[in-house]
Structure 1
Amino acid sequence: MNLSSDHLAIRTTCAYCGVGCGVQATPKGDGTATISGDTLHPANRGRLCVKGSALGETLGLEGRLLYPQVRGEDGLRRVSWDAALDQVAGQWRSIIAEHGPQAVALYVSGQLLTEDYYVANKLMKGYVGSANIDTNSRLCMSSAVAGYKRAFGEDLVPLCYDDLELADLVVLVGSNTAWCHPILFQRILRAKEQRPEMKLVVIDPRRTATCELADLHLPVKAGTDVWLFNGLLSYLARIGAMDPAFVEQHTNGLTAALETANIDCADPAAVARICRIDPALLLEFYELYAATAKTITAYSMGVNQSSAGTDKVNAIINCHLIGGRIGQPGMGPFSITGQPNAMGGREVGGLANMLAAHMDLENPEHRDVVQTFWDAPVMADSGGLKAVDLFKAIEEGSIKAVWVIGTNPVVSMPDADQVRRALSRCELVVASDIMQHTDTNEYADVLLPALGWGEKDGTVTNSERRISRQRAFLPAPGEALADWKILSLFAQRMGYSGFDFRSAHGVFAEHARLSGFRNTAADVPRMFDISGLAGLNAREYDDMEPTQWPVRRLASGQLEVEERLFADRQFATADGKARFVPTATRAPVNAVSEDFPLVLNTGRVRDQWHTMTRTGKAPTLADHTAESFVDIHPQDALLHGVREGELARISSEWGAMVARVQHGGGIPRGSVFIPIHWNNQTASDARVGALVNPEVDPVSGEPEFKHTPVRIEQFRVNWHGFILSRSSKALDSVAHWTRIQGRSFNRYELAGRNVIKDYSGWARTLLGVHDADADWLEYEDRTAGVYRAVHIVDDRIEQCIFLSPRQDMPSRAWLASLFCKDVLSEIDRVGLLVGMPVEKGADAGPTVCSCFGVGRNTICQSIVEKDLKTVQEVTACLKAGGNCGSCVPEIKKILVQTRVEAAEEKL
């Protein structure tokens, strides 16, 4: 395959969420590619969300880590691969010899390919002899894993995406699916349009975009999900909405689960009071659930990221088991994973308490199976340190070396300042990454360049157990290598056999063989079995179509694939029966107090991903939510002395950050919401991980990202401002800043505490304009504290700065449009001086539809001038909402507001 050829479309898989959408990538030969949805992929059928559609904007090599580097007294210096790996292997050998194998660790990522994950797990557990390998997937789906294992005996997601379209009731719990998994949400909505009787219920403390299109929203108090579902279990049993034959023949433990549920959840009125929802809404949900056999309960981070996350999962599963609502089309408990390969990592034992091929680390028979297959010299015989405890051990000094692969824990971990302290004290920190500068890489002693999306080759598994190929369509940049290759070269230097892999295909084949090794003869055969794929040759592997597991090869040679699990009512337990799990109610560990009276909830925004190392490079994704924000109820804002549009400091027992106050309209009293994405590369002080409570679920080890007591107070500044510049700026002297990527410029939002006496001199210094004869337009109103200046080079805008004591400054969208012009017109210059566009319609307003670049002002104007009445009419007129649909809830709101305002003006 000629990776540099033009017009050669490569079928691959999206790099973002666990939906696992198929992508068609057509490289252009200049390092870029055209991206479109793969119409043949069953997950998305040709559709992509705005993040997937913008993947082509993230492929540039700006900021890439391209060569191995080692830190010395004079900073980082470039070295050869041999030198870098020799140094790492030498230090690991010395540390293991002196302190034992428990003194080293890997911290990996759900964005690794399965082949990478497999080699890392084999290296640590079968050759180093330590289970100190954990993953950032611990932070998002480990509670789902633990819940499935307790109920079914194995980590098994029983259904598929098609079931979302077959269900008569879809219950979304703790999931802003419209924004975080938009392709799945659009599949649900299209099914609902075809069958209006289909119902959608959303259970979420916040009123999110997902709620705008739901039939029923239950705004439960954060942390009360177990009460809600225990109450549902009790209600179903009391009214007889159960399947006695299924319960008797195929489950164990209902009596104990009901006894626990009935302790404080037998009375719906009491449950409603604890959950702080209207009793009528609660009963409406209970009655709807009881009356609808084909029900799917889909859950995500709002359930998993909790100190009671595993119990929340099992409380949900219990409600499905009591009615036998599992194993059949259109029904079942469905964990929607957050990362592209969180499921693949689970398959190869990427968590510290697991073994490869869904085997248990604590099970001696399973350890023997894996050790025999690997011909491993040693085998870890007990669980390793989970993520939070891992970084505590690093700070305490019991772990002397850590290798971080494909993740950014200084931003993403709870109590993130503790992670920073830990890495700063660690004897050896190695980081494999695609980016040179991340918050974590600042602490690395050795930096190793890895391949990124579009360059690496292997497989990922999505939330419906579907294995898809992620194929390379770009050449490796610099000296970057695949993660499995880096780890294999390292293992060879450590003197370990069994790592002579030549390709991703070779790794996958070994992984597939292990899944079937001693499986059919086992007392309880493992349901995870892809041994049918073990015999694929290199070409067949390269051409492999998206395939759900299990995949077994029959005697006839045909492959047997199961779309849904448990159709035969057989579960992966010793007696073949599913288990009801008693789930006792308990409040979050850390309660609000006088010092920290508000509850912090964290999550994603629509157009960004994780810590923005990839999405932060895409101009298309920058405008919808440009800065970190804290969403707070207006009454709480008044009580705590903060105002919408201004900056506030939010602090907890563990740390603090600064964000802009907003009233999104969906946050309950007593709570605040802050997104997770911003870091020290994109903002001066916006790492929400620094605030987050490090309390974890006692079963899964997943942290409590949804319930941290915080306080909020004013972040006083003397002025606000922004810069648009074709070159990057160093802004350490500014009290607060955020960097946003534009199409041909960088945008910086600023706020300062200094008193500016000479605006012109200060602005020129900040922008680096030292030529007294530069084409420099400026306006100053010292009385009002307003200043704006524009630097023009060869009749083209080079950079501009606008300052004011208030937030009412010119439209960034209008100014951004001027950077697309090769020559500024006289009317443009006039607009720059007066601080607003002179021509009508020049300001499209803040971006609403990122897919087609449609602004709010354009939508409002079209609604009024063309009398648009529905979202469909807006889409037909402007295309807005016509691709991924994640902006449809916002368009719906704009429609209502604009039409009401227009009607009021006529009165």
Structure 2
Amino acid sequence: MSQPRPIGDQVRTTCAYCGVGCGIVATRTGARAVEIKGDPEHPANRGRLCSKGTHLGETVGLEGRLLHPIIGKRRASWDKALDLVAKRFKQAIAEHGPDSVAFYVSGQLLTEDYYVANKLMKGFIGSGNIDTNSRLCMSSAVAGHVRAFGEDVVPASYDDLDAADLIILVGSNTAWCHPIVYQRIRARCDAGAKLVVIDPRRTETCEGADLHLAIRPGSDVALMNGLLAHCREAGLVDEAYLAASVNVPEGFWDGVGEGSDLWSVARTCEVPAADLRRFYELFAAHPRTVTLFSQGINQSIRGTDQVNAILNLHLATGRIGKQGAAPFSITGQPNAMGGREVGGLASSLASHMDFAPENRARVQRFWASPTIAPKAGLKAVDLFRAMGEGRIKALWIMATNPAVSMPDAGAVREALARCPFVAISDVIAETDCTPFAHVRLPATGWGEKDGTVTNSERLVSRQRALFEAPGEARPDWWIIKEVGRRMGWPGDFAYARPADIFREHARLSAYQNDGTRLFDLGDKVAIGNADYQTMPPFRWGGDPFADGRFPTPDGRARLVAVSQMPLPAPLANWPMTLNTGRYRDQWHTMTRTGLSPKLSRHREEPLVEVHPEDAAAQGLEDGGLARVSTPQGASLFRVQFSTGQRRSEIFTPIHWTDRQSTGGRTGLLPRPLVDPHSGQPGFKSTPAKIEAVAPAWRGFLITTEAMERPDCLWATRVTVPGGMLFELEGDGDAQAIEAKLPRGERIESFDRARGSHRVAVMRDGRLVAALFRTERGILPRREWLVEQLGQAATAALLAGAPPGAREDRGPIICLCFDVGLKTIVAAIGSQQLTTVEAVGAALSAGTNCGSCRPSIRRILEENRSAANG
């Protein structure tokens, strides 16, 4: 295991968040403290970081960490915990066969962790039942790549963005979810490239786009087939390329042309025909086109067909294998790609091999394993369904939280409760899954882990340790190999360090490959330990398909016939369509980002975004509460009016869990319906309804001390400097909340006319907690009161504000420099600012990570419109 770096040392590592894979220069400044900067030498980001990466240093503390093995509710030794996991898995296999056990893993794992887990399950236990939460975000891209190219190869790099003349973003709020890629796109657009955004929502990514197509959810195949039919009519199909490099199935063009005239496509997609024609014209005029697609394409029960509709378009027009021309799947997790490389998906074996007999035999020979999985295993949704039916007897969850993130998460919890044995490896002591765990194993987290990750453009980078492992935490690869040794295979899992695993992974990628697969790390098979430690980022696969050859038996790509399925009519009892997704400054279920006071400021509560006309029809108030219901469940959200929403559609974030909120549990709501090819769930289009909720009182609580979430109708928790902030609303008596305030001297005030009660709790003359509650009155702003936590008491505490005027900055727009909306608006007016660059020069806003630049651009446009009357 790697040694921690001395204080003051600079360490080059890779960010813990999205698939952009940004390089970081980290300087350890204390026992659990680090200074974070972008790595100017890393090709993925060239020194830039988004807000999440910039504030990684706020998330490396030990709050909430799992530091010791736990059996049941009691601390245990590593030997006892590992022996129990091995025993229960062996017992289940002996009694019910290898398919009675499963691993559910994560894109948070490093490639070396993933490799050992896949080897243990598929090569030694002999089952395909290892799947990953990456199934939920990019498996349709994998299936589409394999159908078209013969292998899961992303045929693009970020360098293609610098050469493109047209960039198309499909189903991706890139400005929020991949901010550094978006900044690269904006730089290219500033140099003259055109930008088209295809998304049902008008998001920040649409600001500054040349065209936004707010298509109906699920109509992507119609859109892409319509464009392809137009290309054929206009003579834009590259017949020479097709003849040399692509197989076209019989009847393909007839299928593409059916219902693909301009007006039919416009009706299906519910966009103006003039906008659709403009899209066709832009595509025709700019052969150097990069089409980036993400969850809006993948997270659909037709996701694979939607991917192939995009790939068909690029193959048929020859816009692939050329600089600035490619389809580009951008992944969500830091190592989703690494998991794909080593067989982390139940549908693949290892090193981009499937379960064909010759591949099974090859991998078994390489591993010298006693068995090999005979077939693909259960994909995520099917895996938990099988568990609920009693077919899975032992499950090991690694670095993920399916009780929150899976669709129909209520049923997933029921399945976990039924499973006879559940082991969890995690960095966090208490998650929504831990109540179901029989054994908890403490894993190392970012800053402690050592290994490799692969980003969206096939770039392999090192993650390096900054700190020693806290408590008894151990790397995931070590935990897995120790279980493998205890299950009877000590010599096959005798790894001493990540470099040992990486070398084996590289050897397998090259073993009897002979050019049949592009994934080949043969030049790394003999890398020494020292060279592994200093290994710079590298991209495998070269320039895929530049020679017009593909990793298929005949060397040719394949057009895949796909057709637009009929789109369902709204249901009488479920008239809305629910879309789900990410926020800019949060990550997954907030176990890391939730620790950062800075990151918590962007969206402090889970919002349901709804068009104002729909809100009026449902009696919703902007800032009020609403219950979103689907046939799977219901959860509360704070209402936010948004004209960027299409009518009859609503949007909620994926991040909130029972640990942070009584509401906002989006995972409860989507249907457990999946794409038939990829098994990826359709998170983007769930029938739903929304109704107003009117609590009797509302309030907030700030405290310096850790405390359980208050028990009331609405209670959401965020981290603030010096403590926690809870936003509260309730129906009944609030005395139970007041009774749980920290001990100390209380100062109280009552306003019976407004039904208001204010309480400040002091200890040694300093504020440790404050509760403000009202039935009809106005609540003070939180910022000044939060600043008083831990400070000496002032007479103004119960007033909620200091004497005299205090600047109201409004909602924070620029997280990096703490600049609010009202500050920006005032500067625009007083200084006659007209560009994003001018705002940056005046206030610094938008000059660091750039994540807020779309918001600043929108503020400028709104201010310009208001000035013009």
Range into which the TM-score falls when normalised by the shorter chain: over 0.9
With 723-732 and 407-416 compared, the bigger mean Cα shift is at: 723-732
Q: 1:468-547 residue pairs with structure 2 within 5 A?
A: 468-496=461-489, 497-520=491-514, 525-547=516-538
In structure 1, the residue matched to 2:774 is 804
Report SS of the residue matched to 2:615: helix
1:466 aligns with 2:466: no
Matched, 1:765 2:739: yes
Moved more, 170-179 or 492-501: 492-501
Q: What code does the residue aligned with 1:867 have? A: Q
- 8 A Cα contact 2:342 2:352, kept in partner: yes
How much does 1:254 deviate? 5.7
Equivalent residue, structure 2, for 1:252: 247
Aligned counterpart, 2:673? 695
Describe the superposition over 1:546-593 as per-residue Cα deviations: whole angstroms up to 9, x where unpaired: 00003xxxxxxxxxxx1x2111110011111110000021146x7631
Match for 1:871 among 836, 841, 847? 836
State whether residues 37 and 44 of structure 1, in contact with CA within 8 Å, keep that contact through their aligned partners in structure 2: yes
- 2 CA distance for matches of 1:336 and 1:877? 34
Provide the residue aligned with 1:54 in structure 2. 55
How far apart in 1 are the matches of 2:213 and 2:864? 28
Contact 1:65-1:436 at 8 Å conserved across structures? yes
Q: 1:244 to 1:764 in 2, by over 3 A?
A: closer
| Shift in Å, 1:538 | 0.3
Q: Look up the equivalent residue of 1:635 and give its one-letter code.
A: E
- Aligned residue identity for 2:635: M
Of 212, 226, 231 in structure 2, the residue corresponding to residue 231 of structure 1 is 226
1:43 aligned residue: 44
Matches within 5 A, 1:542-581: 542-550=533-541, 562=542, 564-581=543-560
Deviations 1:215-266 (A, max 9, x none): 100000001000000111111111111211101111111653322222222x
Match of residue 779 from structure 1: 749
For residue 902 of structure 1, report the CA deviation from its aligned partner. 7.2
CA distance in 2, matches of 1:775, 1:599: 48
2:815 to 843, 850, 858: 850
2-structure distance, mates of 1:153, 1:504: 30
**Aligned AA for 1:886?**
S
One-letter code aligned to 1:236: C
Matched, 1:222 2:217: yes
The 1:142/1:264 distance shift into structure 2, 3 A limit, reads same
Distance 1:294 1:237 in 2: 17
User: Aligned AA for 1:487?
Assistant: I
Shift of 1:385: 0.4
Q: 1:145 to 1:415 in 2, by over 3 A?
A: same
Larger displacement relative to structure 2 (84-93 or 269-278): 84-93
**1:606-649: CA deviations, max 9, x gaps?**
10000111111111100110010100111111222222111111
Within the candidate set 115, 134, 147, 1:118 is matched to 115
Contact 1:814/1:843 (<8 A) preserved:
no
- DSSP 3-state at the match of 1:783: coil
Where do 1:234-383 residues align within 5 Å?
234-253=229-248, 255-265=250-260, 267-361=261-355, 363-383=356-376
Name the counterpart of 1:559.
Answer: none
Deviation at 1:293, TM superposition (A): 0.7
How far does residue 743 in structure 1 lie from its aligned partner after superposition?
Answer: 1.4
Partners of 1:60 and 1:128 in 2: how far apart?
Answer: 37
The answer for the alignment partner of 1:177 in structure 2 is: 174
1:681-739: per-residue Cα shift (whole Å, max 9, x none)?
01013211101111100000000000100111122310111111111233443121000
The answer on whether the counterparts of 2:698 and 2:729 sit within 8 Å (CA) in structure 1 is yes
Q: How does 1:379-418 map to 2 (within 5 A)?
A: 379-418=372-411
2:684 to 706, 709, 725: 706
Partner of 2:129: 132
* Partners of 1:223 and 1:587 within 8 A in 2: no
Assess, with a 3 A threshold, how the Cα gap between structure 1 residues 865 and 287 changes in structure 2: closer, same or farther: closer
Structure 1 SS opposite 2:259: helix
Q: Which amino acid aligns with 1:535?
A: A
Gaps of 5+ in 1: 551-561
Quote the Cα distance in structure 1 between the aligned partners of 2:267 and 2:21: 39
* Residue in structure 1 matching 2:593, options 615, 631, 648: 615
- SS of the residue corresponding to residue 138 of structure 1 reads helix
1:151–1:763 CA distance, 2 compared to 1 (3 A): closer
Q: CA deviation at 1:332?
A: 0.6
Shift of the 806–580 alpha-carbon distance from structure 1 to 2, 3 Å rule, reads farther
What do residues 91-131 of structure 1 show as CA deviations (whole Å, max 9, x unaligned)? 11111111000000000001100000000100001000000
Q: Counterpart amino acid of 1:549?
A: W
Equivalent-residue separation in structure 2 for 1:764 and 1:318 (angstroms):
62
Equivalent residue for 1:144, pick from 128, 131, 141 = 141
Aligned partner of residue 45 in structure 1, secondary structure: coil
SS at match of 2:231: helix
The residue type equivalent to 1:745 in the other structure is: G
CA 1:876–1:93: 2 relative to 1, 3 Å: same
**Kept in 2: contact 1:253–1:579 (CA 8 A):** yes
| 1:558 aligned partner | none
What amino acid does structure 2 have at the position aligned with 1:765? A
8 Å CA contact 1:348–1:357 kept in 2: the answer is yes
Alignment partners' CA distance in 1, 2:169 and 2:830:
37
Q: Is the 8 A contact 1:591 1:709 kept in 2?
A: no
Letter in 2 for 1:870: T
Give 1:797 deviation, angstroms.
2.6
Partner of 1:555: none
Q: Matches of 1:733 and 1:536 in 2, distance apart?
A: 56
Task: In structure 2, list runs of 5 or more residues that go unmatched.
Answer: none
Amino acid at match of 2:654: I
Moved more, 867-876 or 643-652: 867-876
CA contact (8 A) 2:3 2:468 kept: no
> SS of 1:514's equivalent?
helix
Residue 454 of structure 1 and its aligned partner are, at CA, apart by: 0.4
Aligned partner of 2:64 in structure 1 is 63
Offset, 1:903 = 8.0
For the 8 Å contact 1:633–1:668, the answer to whether it is kept is yes
1:900: Cα distance to partner? 5.9
SS in structure 2 of the partner of residue 187 of structure 1: helix
- Between the aligned residues of both structures, percent identity stands at 51
SS at match of 1:247: helix
Contact 2:19 2:332 in 1 (8 A): yes
1:200 correspondence with 2:195: yes
Local SS of the residue matching 1:498: helix
Over aligned residues, Cα RMSD in angstroms? 1.6
- The aligned counterpart of 1:747 is 725
For residues 278 and 486 of structure 2, the distance between their equivalents in structure 1, rounded to whole angstroms, comes to 63
Q: Distance in 2 between matches of 1:18 and 1:395?
A: 32
- The one-letter code sitting in structure 1 at the alignment partner of 2:538 is T
Structure-1 separation of matches of 2:823 and 2:274? 41
Cα distance, 1:800–1:898 mapped onto 2, change above 3 Å? farther
TM-score normalised per structure 1: 0.93
TM-score scaled by structure 2? 0.98
Tell me which residue corresponds to 1:625: 603
Inter-partner Cα distance in structure 2 for 1:180 and 1:341: 15
Give the superposition deviation at 1:802: 1.6
1:142–1:304 CA contact under 8 A, matched in 2:
yes
User: How many matched pairs?
Assistant: 867
For residues 803-826 of structure 1, what are the alpha-carbon distances to aligned partners after superposition, in whole Å with 9 as ceiling and x for unaligned? 22358422222322333x7445x5
Worse-superposed segment, 82-91 or 866-875: 866-875
2:786 is paired with a residue of what secondary structure? helix
- Compute the displacement of 1:897 (Å): 3.9
Match of 2:440 in 1: 447
